[in-house]
Chains A and B, each alone.
Chain A
């Protein structure tokens, strides 16, 4: 029998701490790498371009809030912001309603063509945008929807219906059938069942798709760059690109524009980080 071991708890903790040190260092470095660029832009957005070129990585010496006012009024960022808001809010609302209707049908009812409808709609998830963008350009021109926000909204709704239905159907299918049978015995019609059972119970899933679609559409670039060319129709990502193209050297103002674009996302993220993380990864976790 060995004598009682003489490992001191404090010494053991010291060893554990040493083993943890590389991990801590790694965590710290990656935190700087992932978050640092945004802090840097935030600082630049409050400094003038001459200040930035004098010392790109300094803290703001005096804070120039007026740059945000300038960007909003003189550089058309106000217009870009409202265009983005109108497009995203309308598209997300339509996606949620139309997507929920389809998901309810697919999850709840057996009907002829069920599998065909599911296949057609879900295949939208693997169609690359490049495959449609050229002909959408032609089609919108023909329908006189080219260079209109309406046209962009329609394209967005069609393009993101697949992932919306995919997420919602998965959730709706888990609602117990007994609930629907009970509602039917209580005399609810099919549409009332959708409205009063599926939607209220599906709120968490609807929240997820709203978050996902909001972030993706707020950031969308490819469709917008092809389908919008007039300056007063541009959404924020296009507007910033356009401004960047015209004012390559005005780094300060571009930074302010970037902050206007990421502001709403950062603000929402500060309060709803869990929801947004869940939303963005919803389609990938099975």
Chain B
């Protein structure tokens, strides 16, 4: 068990170009499950490989339990990693794949036997101990890779998109298996993925990265509810958050947001911040915060009413996505609706918009405009 502290880590590959990782700082607490989430090429795998010691560090520090490991070779860091490709030893059977790392560390034979049997029975690998990797299915190989990390009982687990080569059903069960093992053993884990469902369900905290930089760190729901900028807003959530350009217009002492023909009050946001926007803002609203009239569940919410035109209806079974264009505005927005809807393409509809759940972004910096504190608090107090 260990604490991993990363300070101003950067990675520049030979051949120049943009750095793959830029001044990244991150602390992963003892026993914590941290997810690094970002689109492919955002540098998250580079971070992982630098923590493992498989890639040299350009600048910055990585410390495990306070000890700086920059110059310590991978083999002496006491870290176990599960690779996307599983990286099983093709010439060894399952037993030896699991036992190899223990033997290399001079662990007694009986102890090796005990740990391998233990891990194999936990992961349901007992019938396959004498098989070589090429005779195993994808899910079984995945288990062996996980088992190889578990038997080591290392200070830190690293996972590099370990589930991305599995089919959908297997992915869900392996996800739960993995969470269970980590929570049971209490070993610090860093998990890289581009899959937001994995990030939301597995991590104690998630760290969202883009272009080599940390965008936002926080608990999954916290980040989902309070995205720091438009990147996080669009990246988390499926379908992504709607971002509608609005104009910010003075109205007496306060301001109003205008979207097409509709005016919205702005009492969630401090007036002085709004005054500095230069008249333009992006209104962010998640598809689940738009309602067909009369389907709204909670009377107490702050509601704005908008007129819209239905462009498309996508029934997904458990829910229905409705693509709308707001009256007087060019943008299309997506609304998440229930299993049944009466709306059909071409209809004109009145929709309701939960203003308390809306976000406002500065279009120049893409950063969120922090809402008035007590309004925000009150909002989640009501929601939870």
Direct contact of A and B (CB under 8 A): yes
**Complex: A4 Cα to B70 Cα, angstroms:** 11
Taking a contact as CB atoms under 8 Å apart, the answer to whether B65 and A5 are in contact is: no
For A, the interface residue count at a CB cutoff of 8 angstroms equals 8
- Residue A7 CB within 8 A of the other chain: yes
Q: Chain B: interface secondary structure?
A: loop
For window 67-86 of chain B, which residues contact chain A by CB distance below 8 Å?
67-72
A69 to B: closest C-beta gap in Å: 48
Taking a contact as CB atoms under 8 Å apart, the answer to whether A4 and B66 are in contact is: yes
Taking a contact as CB atoms under 8 Å apart, the answer to whether B63 and A4 are in contact is: yes
B287 to A: closest C-beta gap in Å: 41
Cβ contacts A1-29/B at 8 Å (1 or 0 each):
11111010100100000000000000000
Chain A residues near B71: list those with CB within 8 A: 5, 7, 9, 12
**Complex: A9 Cα to B68 Cα, angstroms:** 11
The chain A residue with its CB closest to the CB of B66 is A1
A20 to B: closest C-beta gap in Å: 15
Chain A residues near B67: list those with CB within 8 A: 1-5
Most chain B CB inside 10 Å of its own CB: which residue of A2, A5, A9: A5
Q: Chain A: interface secondary structure?
A: loop
Which of A1, A3, A5, A9 lies in contact with B69, CB distance below 8 A? Answer: A5
Taking a contact as CB atoms under 8 Å apart, the answer to whether A1 and B63 are in contact is: no
**Complex: A5 Cα to B63 Cα, angstroms:** 9
Chain B residues near A1: list those with CB within 8 A: 65-67
**Complex: A2 Cα to B2 Cα, angstroms:** 12
Taking a contact as CB atoms under 8 Å apart, the answer to whether A2 and B70 are in contact is: no
B12 to A: closest C-beta gap in Å: 16
**Complex: A3 Cα to B63 Cα, angstroms:** 11
**Complex: A5 Cα to B69 Cα, angstroms:** 8
A273 to B: closest C-beta gap in Å: 21
The chain B residue with its CB closest to the CB of A8 is B71
Taking a contact as CB atoms under 8 Å apart, the answer to whether B66 and A3 are in contact is: yes
B67 to A: closest C-beta gap in Å: 5
Chain B residues near A2: list those with CB within 8 A: 65-67
The chain B residue with its CB closest to the CB of A12 is B71
Taking a contact as CB atoms under 8 Å apart, the answer to whether A4 and B68 are in contact is: yes
**Complex: A5 Cα to B70 Cα, angstroms:** 9
Chain B residues near A7: list those with CB within 8 A: 68, 70-72
B209 to A: closest C-beta gap in Å: 26
For window 57-106 of chain B, which residues contact chain A by CB distance below 8 Å?
63, 65-72
Chain B residues near A9: list those with CB within 8 A: 70-71
Most chain A CB inside 10 Å of its own CB: which residue of B66, B67, B70, B71: B71
Chain A residues near B63: list those with CB within 8 A: 4
Chain A residues near B72: list those with CB within 8 A: 5, 7
The chain A residue with its CB closest to the CB of B73 is A12
**Complex: A2 Cα to B63 Cα, angstroms:** 11
**Complex: A1 Cα to B69 Cα, angstroms:** 13
The chain B residue with its CB closest to the CB of A7 is B71
The 24 sampled A-B contact pairs (Cβ below 8 Å) are: A1-B65, A1-B66, A1-B67, A2-B65, A2-B66, A2-B67, A3-B66, A3-B67, A4-B63, A4-B66, A4-B67, A4-B68, A5-B67, A5-B68, A5-B69, A5-B71, A5-B72, A7-B68, A7-B70, A7-B71, A7-B72, A9-B70, A9-B71, A12-B71
- Known A5-B71, A7-B71, A9-B71; further 14 A-B contacts with Cβ < 8 A: A1-B65, A1-B66, A1-B67, A2-B65, A2-B67, A3-B66, A4-B66, A4-B67, A5-B68, A5-B69, A5-B72, A7-B68, A9-B70, A12-B71
The 7 closest A-B pairs by CB, nearest first: A12-B71, A7-B71, A1-B66, A2-B67, A5-B68, A4-B68, A5-B67
